[in-house]
Structure 1
Amino acid sequence: MFFPYAGFSQKTPYEQRNKTETATYTEAITYYKSLVKKYPQAKLLTYGNTDFGQPLHLLVLSKDQVFDPAEVLRKKKTVLLINNGIHPGEPEGIDASMMLARDLLAGNKLPEDVIICVIPIYNIDGSFNRSSTSRANQNGPLAYGFRGNGKNLDLNRDFIKTDSKNSAALQLIINTWQPQIFVDTHTSNGADYQYVMTLIPTQKDKLNATLSGYLTNTLVPDLYSKMEKQGYPMIPYVNSIGETPESGITGFIESPRYSTGYAALHNIIGFMPETHMLKSFDLRVDATYKLLQSYVDVVQRDAKLIFDNKQKADAFVAKQDEFPLTWQLNKNEVNEISFKGFEAGKKTSGVSGFDRLFYDRSKPYTKTIQEWNKYEPGISVHKPIAYIIPKAWDKVITLLKLNHVKMQELKSDTKIEVESYYIEDFKTGAKPYEGHYLHSAVKVNSVKQSLQYYTGDFIVFVNQPDNRYVVETLEPQATDSFFNWNFFDSILDMKEHYSAYIFEDTANELLKNNPGLRSKLEAKKSSDVDFAKNGAAQLDFVYKNSDYYEKTHNRYPVARLMVSAKLDLK
């Protein structure tokens, strides 16, 4: 550990303004440009674009001035990626990272075996939309950005659907630099308590076992220990099951829509540090600074182990057969943890006259509370040999390529024996969520079929380190599948139908010539009273069990190759 070198190097806007203001986007980029000009160990790169029309900046700190990600990988250097301002109203990481970069450079303290990458401000759009009121419960700074970006998207819900250019740019950075550790800085909402810093690591049970073992047994305990020694004891993110923390807390299960859930698909250990909104801004920045420095210290100490662990995880996932698609909390397994809170009570609301909750800061306590943090797979699936994706689904193809998924194209038209899913049932939200009517509770029926594919259709073999990304986006039952985010909703519509008065005669002929269909209809009538009374439903039943019914209705277009086949591939 070392002390800041602000005394002999340029101060950040945060420091210049008495630690009450956060840097603007322009100030942050200008500041980083000044560091790069002064120190050859720093380089400021740009990637892609954002919805604001600006590229995403990435500061790279490298002691031996290696700035080529391929060379970084070849030299087996560990990469620590820090992302700031995904929610620009939670800006502590923006200012803490600026001071950290300066102090590492000015103090000649860059680690030998670790490349530090910093995204100055991710949600550039939101950072320009500054006010002092959008986070009504937060204690400073004087002004800050807005949670939504230029499209009013919460970018920490956009890592699968990728409705923003920001998300595509950050995915490009992650897949180019392939970090082993990812830190996404935040500020909390919720209960009042004594801690300045809470921590959300990647949920241990959904992370690869090699990575989870290191995370749980070494990395997290060491971070807690270092922060305790620096005057900032930590606690898991306070996700209360009741009105106050005394009721107990649950671990946060981050699905791939979130930054750390997305990172886990690539075998990256992720963290969301959450400072407490009611603590003063200077304390929150200081705690974030010290936590980021703690990451640097531990990652440097364990650099080789961390690098090797990810290599092992990638190799395991390439061969892994079964993949969980959903997760559920085990309510029978509980831990007890020490918690420093404030006594909660009720008093009369000056607004409504009813009882309201309040926390009495004159009555701090230390109590033992319960924590539920064991998650188990819900739905799981065995991987196919490959997925086959018709070229028409170009957004899917684009995102797979962005995530370095290896794909091959068919060189000629061919029929292939596959397993297809038919979507039997699903639920859809009644209101839009982040621009989508999100599906859930998907049920599928698997059917073996011989389907026609064409030159340029894509084959994705499930034998690669990014298998988790492949499976959890392409399997429709996965929580954040492309299907659930409405990528394939057009298959849910029938494109052809019939005129009942004409098809009545056709259906009658079908039943005369097909005793099996007649028996199927009678069985349905016998088992379903309402169906037996509904002539239109019976006619529709005959239609949907005939060759006249379109075979693509409700058929999920991404098929599963289950048996090895000779394919003519580019």
Structure 2
Amino acid sequence: MGLRVITISVLLAQQISAQSILPPIQEWHGKSESLIAKANNPWITPTEKADFITTPTYDETMNWFQKLADASPLLSMISIGKSVEGRDIYMIIASSEKEVTATALKQSDKPLLFVQAGIHSGEIDGNDAGMMLLRDIAFGNKKELLNQVNFLFIPILNVDGHERSSSFNRPNQRGPQNMGWRTNAQNLNLNRDYAKVDTNEIRAVINVMNEYNPLLYMDIHVTDGADYQYDITFGGLGRQGYSKGISNWLATKYKTHADKDLAASGHIPGQLLFAVNDRDFSQGNMLLMGEPRFSDAYGDLRHMASILVENHSLKPFKQRVLGTYVLLESTLKLLATEGKSLKEITLSDKAKREASLPTKWKVPEMKSAATFEHQSNVKVKEDSGAVPDSLKLLGIESRIVKSSVTNADYVEWTGKPITMTIPNYKGTEGVDFVSRPKGYFLPPTCAEVIARLKLHGIQMETLKQPREVTVEMYRIQEAKFQNDGGNTVPFEGHMQVKGTPIPETRKQVFVAGSVYISTDQPLGDLAIMLLEPKSPDSYLSWGFFHQIFQRTEYIEAYVLEPTMKKMLEDSPELQKEFAEKKKNDTKFANNPNAIMTWFYSKTKYYDDRYLLYPVGREM
């Protein structure tokens, strides 16, 4: 009976998938269609050959790239790491330089563009666009793109997820027929891993950043959400974040240039779009600064120009791939003429040492600050005090329909193009600031955190002798572990925790093997966000310091009882404090264990390191 139910379910799923259940499609033809190779071209890509119905497998992709690199002196192909399932993560180096080592390209006067595709492997547009563009650079009419620019390209970052391919993986996406899985083989979302660096894939990406020092970094995705007319949406962080000069360059110089090239090729470029109410744009659009777990926010903290591309999932695969090709070519052309100015701006941003840094961002004038895993989860009320810009949205008409199955409302897109002016909320105001210390001391007990900080490229000094220093340290109070509906649940392989960090000044001895991290370095801001407990992506938040939340020494009641009496007899001040505590906290007053713990915490027998975050701040 069970087998029959499964068989019927599979057949039903196949029947549904064969139907046109996505919203109506708008017919599209653009000048960029001329980029598609002729059928007799010996370097036609597998996707072009399949008329953009399918995308190649990992093996087909890498074999094709290897043959292309072997045949062209402009291209080379290297492995930058291996996945947990043993697949190589390959990167293509496109350059006219005589030497293409990491050191040579890092020292080159040419700007370096670093692009990755397939971080979510079902969102694979970038791979197919990169194959076409690199083919045309090697054997077409695009060789001149490398005259003034060097180019690094990862075709598929999530190589294991790419091979978990199915036509049922992304039901909200219009092609290709075979799509990879969102997470990697460890079921981790790579675009939540930049801060904590759990995965081989993101470690490989960050190693490329450290070794090659790219000027501009691009991460190519496909959307999950609402319908609208734009096919290629993208942006940097736009006048917000930790790299103001870079953000301004991306919002003005880059966006203007790329929009013009895309429009000239028949595409409809737009800004990043995240519906405030998570279904349509009737309440507006919301752009909030993400945490450094995300690629673009991480790049911003490194003071590296970073572009997040979100192609529109409801547009045909062919249209999305061709638009991505145009965007890549446009980026190379802009860097050829404006790379020098971006380099100067980048150096300026890297040299800044702000006295304090925000750990979160909000829309100006909002009454409360918040950060969100998904920007579209923000609910903005009319009386919230939020001040939006206005956005002329090239949208698609929608209507609210009541489900005959669930009896709940849902959005139905009609396919009719409309233009509407909507609120455009932007989280540009920093909140929850932390002061910039001179540096941080970490004891060798933090070996795992130290290792991950090194992976980021953060510079540090290892103490050869014990060092006694006066530092500020945090006592973490009111700690709350992540839960969902009362159940404690993990997130991305970690049990996250939040608490209130209470600073205290201490004389502390850091033993030999401890490390000192100065914030006077290009990655100083990144170090601050990873080590300050307030930061949503601090290593405390990600659960690397859970051991501080457990007590390991106790006192017996028969010892504590006479101790408590003696303490009260000797201290009228303590008597008054105890009386007020009981009066104001009835739960405490009726809990003998809580009372004993309270008295125990005021003795010299109590664990001085309980709840003490072991990282010292040098002020």
Q: Could you say which TM-score interval applies, normalised by the shorter chain? A: over 0.9
Report the equivalent of 1:490: 547
Q: What is the alpha-carbon distance in structure 2 between the residues aligned to residue 476 and residue 87 of structure 1?
A: 29
Superposed CA offset, 1:232-280 (max 9, x none): 1222222111231232101142211111111112111212211111211
Residue 214 of structure 2, aligned match among 179, 183, 188: 179
Q: What is the alpha-carbon distance in structure 2 between the residues aligned to residue 494 and residue 309 of structure 1?
A: 49
Q: Is the 8 A contact 2:280 2:411 kept in 1?
A: no
Q: Secondary structure at the match of 1:73?
A: helix
Residue 270 of structure 2, aligned match among 235, 238, 253: 235
Q: What is the alpha-carbon distance in structure 2 between the residues aligned to residue 560 and residue 253 of structure 1?
A: 26
Q: Is the 8 A contact 2:106 2:214 kept in 1?
A: no
Q: Following TM superposition, by how much is the alpha carbon of 1:489 offset from its aligned partner in structure 2, in angstroms?
A: 1.0
Q: Following TM superposition, by how much is the alpha carbon of 1:192 offset from its aligned partner in structure 2, in angstroms?
A: 1.3
Report the equivalent of 2:342: 306
Q: Is the 8 A contact 1:408 1:460 kept in 2?
A: yes
Q: Does 1:77 align with 2:110?
A: yes
Q: Does 1:536 align with 2:572?
A: no
Question: Kindly tell me: are residues 62 and 372 of structure 1, through their superposed partners in 2, closer, same or farther at Cα, counting changes over 3 Å?
Answer: same
Q: Following TM superposition, by how much is the alpha carbon of 1:512 offset from its aligned partner in structure 2, in angstroms?
A: 4.1
Q: What is the alpha-carbon distance in structure 1 between the residues aligned to residue 474 and residue 439 of structure 2?
A: 14
Q: Is the 8 A contact 2:117 2:127 kept in 1?
A: yes
Report the equivalent of 2:306: 270
Q: Following TM superposition, by how much is the alpha carbon of 1:74 offset from its aligned partner in structure 2, in angstroms?
A: 2.5
Report the equivalent of 2:358: 324
Q: What is the alpha-carbon distance in structure 1 between the residues aligned to residue 427 and residue 453 of structure 2?
A: 31
Q: What is the alpha-carbon distance in structure 2 between the residues aligned to residue 468 and residue 203 of structure 1?
A: 19
Report the equivalent of 2:381: none
Q: Following TM superposition, by how much is the alpha carbon of 1:353 offset from its aligned partner in structure 2, in angstroms?
A: 5.7
TM-score by length of 2: 0.86
Q: Does 1:455 align with 2:547?
A: no
Q: Secondary structure at the match of 1:420?
A: strand
Q: Is the 8 A contact 2:126 2:220 kept in 1?
A: yes
Report the equivalent of 1:504: 561
Q: What is the alpha-carbon distance in structure 2 between the residues aligned to residue 347 and residue 420 of structure 1?
A: 55
Q: What is the alpha-carbon distance in structure 1 between the residues aligned to residue 407 and residue 87 of structure 2?
A: 49
Q: Is the 8 A contact 1:22 1:141 kept in 2?
A: yes
Question: Kindly tell me: are residues 200 and 119 of structure 1, through their superposed partners in 2, closer, same or farther at Cα, counting changes over 3 Å?
Answer: same
Q: Following TM superposition, by how much is the alpha carbon of 1:515 offset from its aligned partner in structure 2, in angstroms?
A: 5.5
Report the equivalent of 2:497: 439
Q: Is the 8 A contact 1:85 1:121 kept in 2?
A: yes
Report the equivalent of 1:358: 412
Q: Is the 8 A contact 1:61 1:110 kept in 2?
A: no
Question: Kindly tell me: are residues 353 and 452 of structure 1, through their superposed partners in 2, closer, same or farther at Cα, counting changes over 3 Å?
Answer: closer
The one-letter amino acid paired with 1:546 is T
Q: Secondary structure at the match of 1:477?
A: coil
Report the equivalent of 2:525: 468
Residue 170 of structure 1, aligned match among 182, 202, 205: 205
Q: Following TM superposition, by how much is the alpha carbon of 1:518 offset from its aligned partner in structure 2, in angstroms?
A: 4.5
Q: What is the alpha-carbon distance in structure 1 between the residues aligned to residue 350 and residue 596 of structure 2?
A: 53
TM-score by length of 1: 0.93
The one-letter amino acid paired with 2:546 is D
Report the equivalent of 1:343: 397
Q: Which moved more, 1:414-423 or 1:498-507?
A: 498-507
Q: Secondary structure at the match of 1:360?
A: strand
Q: Does 1:333 align with 2:387?
A: yes
Q: Is the 8 A contact 1:41 1:65 kept in 2?
A: no
Q: What is the alpha-carbon distance in structure 1 between the residues aligned to residue 44 and residue 605 of structure 2?
A: 74
Q: Following TM superposition, by how much is the alpha carbon of 1:527 offset from its aligned partner in structure 2, in angstroms?
A: 4.2
Q: Following TM superposition, by how much is the alpha carbon of 1:439 offset from its aligned partner in structure 2, in angstroms?
A: 2.6
Q: Is the 8 A contact 1:148 1:154 kept in 2?
A: yes
Report the equivalent of 1:391: 444
Report the equivalent of 2:236: 201
Q: Is the 8 A contact 1:63 1:110 kept in 2?
A: no
Question: Kindly tell me: are residues 314 and 347 of structure 1, through their superposed partners in 2, closer, same or farther at Cα, counting changes over 3 Å?
Answer: closer
Q: Does 1:104 align with 2:137?
A: yes
Report the equivalent of 1:408: 461
Residue 249 of structure 1, aligned match among 274, 278, 285: 285
Report the equivalent of 1:567: none
Q: Is the 8 A contact 1:422 1:445 kept in 2?
A: yes
After TM superposition, list the pairs within 5 Å mapping 1:89-238 onto structure 2.
Answer: 89-106=122-139, 107=141, 108-238=143-273
What RMSD in Å do the two structures reach over aligned CA positions? 2.1
Residue 32 of structure 1, aligned match among 22, 43, 65: 65
Q: Following TM superposition, by how much is the alpha carbon of 1:320 offset from its aligned partner in structure 2, in angstroms?
A: 2.6
The one-letter amino acid paired with 1:433 is F
- Unaligned 5+ segments in structure 1 are 563-570
Q: What is the alpha-carbon distance in structure 2 between the residues aligned to residue 50 and residue 514 of structure 1?
A: 63
The one-letter amino acid paired with 2:115 is I
The one-letter amino acid paired with 2:396 is F
Q: What is the alpha-carbon distance in structure 2 between the residues aligned to residue 98 and residue 42 of structure 1?
A: 12
